[in-house]
Structure 1
Amino acid sequence: MNSVLLAAIGIAMVLAGYFLYSKYLGSKVYRLNAHFRTPAHELQDGVDYVPTNKYVLWGHHFTSVAGAAPIVGPAVAVIWGWLPAFLWVTLGTVFFAGMHDLGALWASIRNRGQSIGTLSGRYIGARGRNLFLVVIFLLLLMVNAAFAVVISGLLVSTPTSVIPVWGAILVALVVGQAIYRWKLHLVAVSVIGVVALYALIVLGDSVPVVLPDTVLGLSAEAFWVVVLFLYAGVASVLPVWVLLQPRDYINGLQLFVGLGILYLSVFIASPDFVAPAFNSNVPEGTPSLVPLLFVTIACGAISGFHGIVSSGTSAKQLDKETDARFVGYFGAVGEGLLALGSIIAATAGYRTLADWEAVYSAFNQGGVTAFVEGGGNIMNAGLGIPASLSATILATMAVLFAATTMDTGIRLQRFVVQESLELAGLRLGKGVATVIVLVVGMGLAFGAGADGSGGMVIWPLFGTTNQLLAGLTLSIVAVILLRKRRPVLPVLIPLVFVMAMSLFAAIVQVRTFYTSENWLLLVLDLVIIVAAIWVILEATIAMTKARKSPAETDDESLAVETSVDG
């Protein structure tokens, strides 16, 4: 089969989801109201609560949620064939991810920008909240520690990406000043910023930065891990408009341009798939497609991490409630397009089936490497971009996606630490809380790996933990909708499916960890399973009570006409 047809079908499906299904969700389920006073206005502080242009906020949200996972997950999952991965990404984006991200954003907006962990206390109960915060903390720890490893590895393996990756920070600082201090026109600032970023990519391709084997007593990879954590710590305490928001926005534009180049190359080169639609010749040791497909591809279909971002940072910056449809649902569409691009690059970017099978010689092979190599081959064939420059563009895309997610992840983990300690009656400033987050993150990175690669130790739990968190988030949204007597099936059906597949996968992993005598992951997996089941039981009780309780009114929405712009 030719990849052009699959790309066209996939793009049409996810765009139809935005223009049709998200409109239904916005008007009938969440009933977005343009006149509702959002937390960004009610609690405006110039640091975390900042009313933001919806296009700028979309850039922040998109690049925060679209880390390395929507590249890695699909590029690993194609080991079962490209068709199962394609169906889960497209259908998941339309009916699962967009609804989940928009729902988490809406729930937080309607509760003064509170995080999904705090909302669990209000709508499920104190015990559910405490367990929810444990799951969130573990997930953020996995994301921050593992993404630091992924980024450091790419900076070492693709030294041409070093200049554009770090130069993007300077561009973002200027963009932030231009938008908020100098009040320059957004379009002009955006164009200049994107041109500057691509100029840095060209410069980086000509001037690779290769670190010596040892830097300050650390390996090159370990040195980058330390620098990344320190940078993310500083970024997490700055006002969002100074660095985090403009960095995510301008990176979002640059990354969307990069995706456009990849898709344009696909339509011009028109490569055929060399990988099978269903792979019956999987390597020995490859787990079954069900349920592992649904946790291997998390980001790109549905991801619990998105709910943390939606309620942790994006809800605090939303200017109008109706902007939530564009920021939340279309943010999921952007990630779905990235995941689709990863599938095509990893299956149609190789010359022969033998070449593809050489890369996918075992489960968990492929990943970023397959995306960069396969995508680079397609860009070279389609647009004649030199192989080195193609690799630099795609590697920079992967690093920037992961880095912006790590920036947001450190900030979110700081929020979780502060919220958790406040429940115990202890208030911490953001500086102290950030230090705790950095110590824990780097402790994992170096405590389990002298080269800073310890973050990958608990990464095998990411997929199941992430999907369980998505199910738990949907349970909170379902309780709120039941209280308001809104249509709840668009949430309940994905909730049941995601929880079933996630718990199934977690139980399968228990056996795997026990057989391999990996006691750390076995214990953590059991903790996560118990916490998830407990929260689901609490949520089920809360849903039953919500159905029997008097219907809640819609506060401000009673006095004004509902609008679903976006």
Structure 2
Amino acid sequence: MNAIVLAVFGLAVMFTGFFVYSRFVAGKILKLDPDFKTPAHTMTDGVDYVPTNKFVLWGHHFTSVAGAAPIVGPAIAVIWGWLPALLWVSLGTVFFAGVHDMGAVWASVRNKAKSMGALSGDVVGKRARSLFMIVIFLVLLMVNAVFGVVIANLLINNAGSVVPVWGAIAVAMVIGQAIYRFKWNLPLVSLVGVIVLYTLIWIGPQVPVALPETAFGLSDRALWILLLFAYAAVASLLPVWMLLQPRDYINGLQLFVGLGLLYVAVFVAGPTVVAPMINSDVPAGTPSLFPLLFVTIACGAISGFHGIVASGTTSKQLNKEPDARLVGYGGALGEGTLALAAIIAASAGFATFEEWKEVYSSFGGGGLKAFVDGGGTILHAGTGISPEVSATMLTVMAALFAGTTMDTGLRLQRYIFQEWGEIYNISWMKKAAPATLLSVGACLALAFGAGGADGGGGLLIWPLFGTTNQLMAGLTLLVVAVMLVRRKTNALVVIAPMAFILVIGLLALAIQIYDFFGQQKWFLCGLAVVVLVAGVLVALECIAALRKEQHEVAASN
């Protein structure tokens, strides 16, 4: 089969969802109000609360939520065949991710831009808030600690990506000044920024940069991890308009250009899909498709991390409430197109089925390498861009996605510590600098405490990310559903995906606990039990609140 068929189907479903389904949800269910004063206006502080152009904010939300996960997850899930992955990404984006992201932005904006954890306390109760924030903290810890390792590995494996990845930071800071301080024309600034970024991608392979293999008793990976967290700490303290917003915005444009080139290459080259439609001969040790497909592909179909971003940074910058449709639903759509590209690269980027099967000889094979290698092959065949530059472009794309997610993730982790300071009246924890140090300290303690001098400890708890992330998504939808029922609005479009993803998340987590126990992985087993108990208790609290609201609405009618 020609890969064009996969691209046409996936893109058609997603864009129909945006122009039809998202308009229905925004207008009839959430009832987004252009006259509602958002927290960006009522609580403006020039640091975290800043009214933002919806296209700039869309760039922030899209690149913050689209880390390496929507590339890695789909590229791994192709082991079950391309069809299940294609259907989950396409339909999940439309009916799950878009509704989840837009709903989370709306719910937070309507409650002074509170995070989902803090918001659950107002909507459901204090017990739910305490448990919910534990789940949120663990998700952020997993994302930040692991993405530090992922970016470090990318920089080591492709030294030509170092200049464009770090150069993007300088470009973003110049753009922030140009837009906010000097009020220059946004389209012109955007065009110049994208040109500069792609010039850096072209220059990168010609001036590769590598750290010493060992220095100060640390490996090059450990040194990169320390540098990345030092940068992320500074970035999390700067006003959002100075670095976070412009970095995410210009990266979003650059990444969409890269995605656009990849899709153009697919339509020009028309590569053959060599992966099976449904793989009936999976390698030994591969888990069953149900329910593991739905947690292996989290980002790209639905992801609880999106709700943390939507209610953590995005809601604080929303200029007008109707902008939530483009920013939230549109951001999820952007991630869906990335996941679709990963599926195509991992299915049609190989010369033969035998070559594909060799890469997917075990569960977990493929992943980021399949995307870079397969996508690079397609890009070279369809556009004539050299294999070296093609590989650098896709490596930079993955690194920038992961980097912007890490930037936002650390800022969100700082918010969690500050919210705990507010809740438990710990005055020093309410301040940004100490909260940031706690956030970085927690990530580095995991990275180096569990991983030793190499700093790879974050990977230790990564197997729990998919299930914890999906559980988080279900709980977020539960909170949104309670708010909708309280407003006497039909909440079915939220309750249906919420019920599915909660059941899937809890079932997958129970399977993982069984596997961890059998493998005697006691730390992961214990942590998974904590997540399961917290998730079940939050779900019960939310369901009780939901039923109470439904009964009160029914009684009032």
Asked if the contact 1:28/1:487 (under 8 Å) is kept, the reply is no
Q: Give, as a single letter, the amino acid of the residue that structure 2 aligns with 1:91.
A: L
Is 1:531 the counterpart of 2:516? The answer is: no
Q: State how far apart, in whole Å, the 2-side matches of 1:421 and 1:464 are.
A: 28
Alignment map for 1:228-307 (pairs within 5 Å) = 228-307=228-307
Shift of 1:124: 1.2
Alignment map for 1:26-37 (pairs within 5 Å) = 26-37=26-37
Match of 1:146 in 2: 146
Is 1:459 the counterpart of 2:462? The answer is: yes
Q: State how far apart, in whole Å, the 1-side matches of 2:197 and 2:549 are.
A: 50
Q: State how far apart, in whole Å, the 2-side matches of 1:334 and 1:406 are.
A: 18
SS of the residue corresponding to residue 486 of structure 1 reads coil
Match of 1:513 in 2: 516
Q: State how far apart, in whole Å, the 2-side matches of 1:205 and 1:270 are.
A: 28
Render the CA deviation track for 1:367-397: whole Å, top value 9, x for unaligned: 1100000000001111111111000000000
SS of the residue corresponding to residue 412 of structure 1 reads helix
Q: State how far apart, in whole Å, the 2-side matches of 1:122 and 1:41 are.
A: 22
Shift of 1:62: 0.3
Root mean square deviation of aligned Cα: 1.1
Is 1:359 the counterpart of 2:348? The answer is: no
Q: Give, as a single letter, the amino acid of the residue that structure 2 aligns with 1:65.
A: V
Is 1:404 the counterpart of 2:407? The answer is: no
Alignment map for 1:65-464 (pairs within 5 Å) = 65-427=65-427, 428=429, 429-449=431-451, 450-464=453-467
Shift of 1:3: 0.5
Structure 2, unaligned runs of 5 or more: none
Q: Which moved more, 1:257-266 or 1:420-429?
A: 420-429
Asked if the contact 1:123/1:479 (under 8 Å) is kept, the reply is yes
SS of the residue corresponding to residue 205 of structure 1 reads helix
TM-score (norm 1): 0.97
Match of 1:542 in 2: 545
Asked if the contact 1:179/1:186 (under 8 Å) is kept, the reply is yes
Q: State how far apart, in whole Å, the 2-side matches of 1:399 and 1:192 are.
A: 21
SS of the residue corresponding to residue 9 of structure 2 reads helix
Alignment map for 1:473-512 (pairs within 5 Å) = 473-512=476-515
Structure 1, unaligned runs of 5 or more: 554-566
Q: Give, as a single letter, the amino acid of the residue that structure 1 aligns with 2:222.
A: A
Shift of 1:550: 5.6
Runs of 4+ in 1 over 2 A off after TM superposition: 548-551
Aligned length: 553
Q: State how far apart, in whole Å, the 2-side matches of 1:496 and 1:294 are.
A: 13
Q: State how far apart, in whole Å, the 2-side matches of 1:367 and 1:222 are.
A: 22
Q: Give, as a single letter, the amino acid of the residue that structure 2 aligns with 1:113.
A: A
SS of the residue corresponding to residue 549 of structure 1 reads helix
Q: Give, as a single letter, the amino acid of the residue that structure 1 aligns with 2:379.
A: M
Shift of 1:425: 1.4
Q: State how far apart, in whole Å, the 2-side matches of 1:206 and 1:336 are.
A: 33
Q: Give, as a single letter, the amino acid of the residue that structure 2 aligns with 1:519.
A: W
TM-score (norm 2): 0.98
Render the CA deviation track for 1:431-472: whole Å, top value 9, x for unaligned: 000000111100100111120111100000000000000000
Render the CA deviation track for 1:278-307: whole Å, top value 9, x for unaligned: 011111000000000000000000000000
Shift of 1:548: 2.8
Shift of 1:217: 2.5
Q: Give, as a single letter, the amino acid of the residue that structure 1 aligns with 2:513.
A: V
Shift of 1:99: 0.2
Q: State how far apart, in whole Å, the 2-side matches of 1:212 and 1:354 are.
A: 38
Render the CA deviation track for 1:455-510: whole Å, top value 9, x for unaligned: 10000000000000000000000000000011111011101100111111001101
Shift of 1:418: 1.1
Shift of 1:546: 1.0
Asked if the contact 2:488/2:553 (under 8 Å) is kept, the reply is no
